[in-house]
Structure 1
Amino acid sequence: MTHINLEPQGETVAVPVHSRIPVDTGQVLVQARGLQKSFYHRSILKNVDFDMHRGDITVIIGKSGSGKSTLLRAIAGLTDPDAGEISIDGKTVFEGTTRTKDWAEASANVGMIFQTYTLWPHMNVLDNLTLAPRKTRGIAASEAKDRAESALDEVGMKQHILSRPTQLSGGERQRVAIARALMMKPKLLLCDEITSALDPPVAAEVLDVLRRLKEEDGIAVALVTHDMAFASKAADRLVFFHNGEIAVNATPEEAFDNCDNPDLKKFVDAVRF
């Protein structure tokens, strides 16, 4: 066995088991089987199997181009796999090359947050949060405002409800982006490198928000990140992508303390510096 020294935190790695199992509507929130995706004849996802349980934090790591973000985008419906199957909250939403009739209902339980915030600079925080619920779901202005106040309170940003994004720091804007995702009351948040542009102390605060959402609201989080300290402390599962495949799927303790995967060890050693 090879021990990975995280400095200051040590943690987990194991070999994934790829087996087709029925969706467990009691615990399994997301299940993907045999996902394949290519771009310009380059294979990005190679027969990927992936599960997430309700209320879990799953940290996904790996080199750029290894398939991490493509997996999140497939679950969010932002890209269609070339083959495979995806189930969300007990409903099959993607099969073969087709979205099923259950896609719209199931996808309402999924929120996605990006590195770039994607906030409208000419709108204040309140309008950024309420625009989509009012336009796409027909939610009344008063209810949308109540939801916005509640979501902002959850991320510690209620005092900035009338601020413009340009008046906020990067960490504050990312908290607003999280609050906006909470407006639809999701069961799952997909977070793609949301702290990579932030200073470490600010990134730690944003990640702490996600941990509280998991602990207090039972929201599952799938997070692509290079923050090994967060992975070691807060993740329920750690998934390591290598060349389009899940090379490791384990608890952080298994992945970081009892690692016999040389590619994971190499990756962790590289991102520590």
Structure 2
Amino acid sequence: MSQLTNTGSRRRVEPASSTITASHGEILVSARGLQKSFNDRMILKNVDFDMLAGDITVIIGKSGSGKSTLLRALAGLTDPDAGRIVFDGKVVFEDEERTDDWRDVESHVGMVFQTYTLWPHMDVLANLTLAPRKRLGLSAAEAKERAEVALAEVGMSQHLRSRPSQLSGGERQRVAIARALMMRPKLLLCDEITSALDPPVAAEVLEVLRRLKQEEGIAVALVTHDMAFASKAADRVVFFHEGEIAVNATPDEAFNRSTNPELKKFVDAVRF
């Protein structure tokens, strides 16, 4: 277990030891004993989960197995019923509530959804600059400069003044990723962001995430059914089964050497 220390009113935690091997840096996210129920149905069952800074973790499993609930808990969109979450060395959830430290780090956690959630009446620039101007207090010029950088990172520089209705599905998803990048996140959470896209377009969006990892050092947690991407780009593959993490392994271990029968059955059903 981690050792918790008090430094004034701020709580900090030394990262717990983990079964995963560091490949890019220190543990960025450490969750212990997460539980969550909806309508008397337990969705997360004492989930322990670690992520390293700069890694891509692909989360797979059947619908309803707990994948998206874990992402929403890490993003602060859902509070677990029990457990603890440590982000970047700070305890951000404990004793059934968000701690004061969550306000300090939540801007470093970005989330991208399957449905883009772009404002249709705003152009791309306005969609990207709204949150950082309100939450970070950036000036219009500062926000525009940051937007130009974010769009360049996802290959969308030419669409600064476009409306969402003028963009393809893949382009809208890239804009959604750029919007998350506006807050300069250390962790990007992606929930089925390519499921509505044609395979070639999905491959382009996933390549953007791989490049962000390599060039910016952003950690990515990605819920997907794209096993081809998982096998090629993931540093870790996490398989959820009935609210529990049944497998946490490298792609080679998960797809080629795992003896877990439920994982084998799932992979065979969505075989790349």
Establish whether TM, by shorter chain, passes 0.5: yes
In structure 1, the partner of 2:6 is: none
1:167-187 CA-partner distances (Å, limit 9, x unpaired): 000000000000000000000
Q: Which has the higher contact order (CA 8 A, sep 6+)?
A: 1
Letter in 2 for 1:102: D
Which ranges of 4 or more aligned residues in structure 1 deviate by more than 2 Å? Answer: 20-26
- Structure 2: gaps spanning 5 or more residues: 4-13, 17-24
Q: Give the match's secondary structure for 2:15.
A: coil
1:92-126 CA-partner distances (Å, limit 9, x unpaired): 00002011110111212100000000000111000
CA contact (8 A) 1:92 1:100 kept: yes
Structure 1 residue 21 displacement after superposition:
4.4
CA contact (8 A) 1:155 1:175 kept: yes
Letter in 2 for 1:99: R
Letter in 2 for 1:168: L
CA contact (8 A) 2:86 2:92 kept: yes
In structure 2, the partner of 1:108 is: 107
CA contact (8 A) 2:53 2:217 kept: yes
In structure 2, the partner of 1:174 is: 173
1:26-69 CA-partner distances (Å, limit 9, x unpaired): 60100000000000000000000000000000000000000000
Identify which of 10, 15, 38 aligns with 1:24. 15
In structure 2, the partner of 1:80 is: 79
Normalised by the length of structure 1, the TM-score is 0.91
In structure 2, the partner of 1:3 is: none
Task: Tell me, in whole angstroms, the C-alpha distance in 2 between the residues paired with 1:83 and 1:205.
Answer: 38
Structure 1 residue 257 displacement after superposition:
1.0
Q: Give the match's secondary structure for 1:30.
A: strand
Q: Give the match's secondary structure for 2:115.
A: coil
Using the TM superposition, name which of 237-246 and 97-106 deviates more.
97-106
Structure 1 residue 138 displacement after superposition:
1.3
In structure 1, the partner of 2:41 is: 42
Q: Where do residues 1-273 of structure 1 align in structure 2 (5 Å cutoff)?
A: 20-21=1-2, 23-24=14-15, 27-272=26-271
Task: Tell me, in whole angstroms, the C-alpha distance in 1 between the residues paired with 2:137 and 2:98.
Answer: 24
In structure 2, the partner of 1:17 is: none
Task: Tell me, in whole angstroms, the C-alpha distance in 1 between the residues paired with 2:15 and 2:34.
Answer: 19
CA contact (8 A) 2:15 2:30 kept: no
Structure 1 residue 272 displacement after superposition:
2.4
Normalised by the length of structure 2, the TM-score is 0.92
Task: Tell me, in whole angstroms, the C-alpha distance in 2 between the residues paired with 1:131 and 1:111.
Answer: 15
Task: Tell me, in whole angstroms, the C-alpha distance in 2 between the residues paired with 1:198 and 1:180.
Answer: 19
Task: Tell me, in whole angstroms, the C-alpha distance in 1 between the residues paired with 2:2 and 2:259.
Answer: 27
Aligned-residue identity in percent: 78
In structure 2, the partner of 1:14 is: none
CA contact (8 A) 1:88 1:107 kept: no
Q: CA RMSD in A?
A: 1.1
1:149-178 CA-partner distances (Å, limit 9, x unpaired): 000000000101100000000000000000
Task: Tell me, in whole angstroms, the C-alpha distance in 2 between the residues paired with 1:259 and 1:138.
Answer: 49
Q: Give the match's secondary structure for 1:268.
A: helix
Task: Tell me, in whole angstroms, the C-alpha distance in 1 between the residues paired with 2:102 and 2:238.
Answer: 25
Task: Tell me, in whole angstroms, the C-alpha distance in 1 between the residues paired with 2:253 and 2:51.
Answer: 17
Q: Give the match's secondary structure for 2:237.
A: strand
CA contact (8 A) 2:132 2:182 kept: yes
Letter in 2 for 1:95: E
Task: Tell me, in whole angstroms, the C-alpha distance in 1 between the residues paired with 2:70 and 2:15.
Answer: 20
Structure 1 residue 24 displacement after superposition:
3.0
Number of residue pairs the alignment of both structures matches: 254
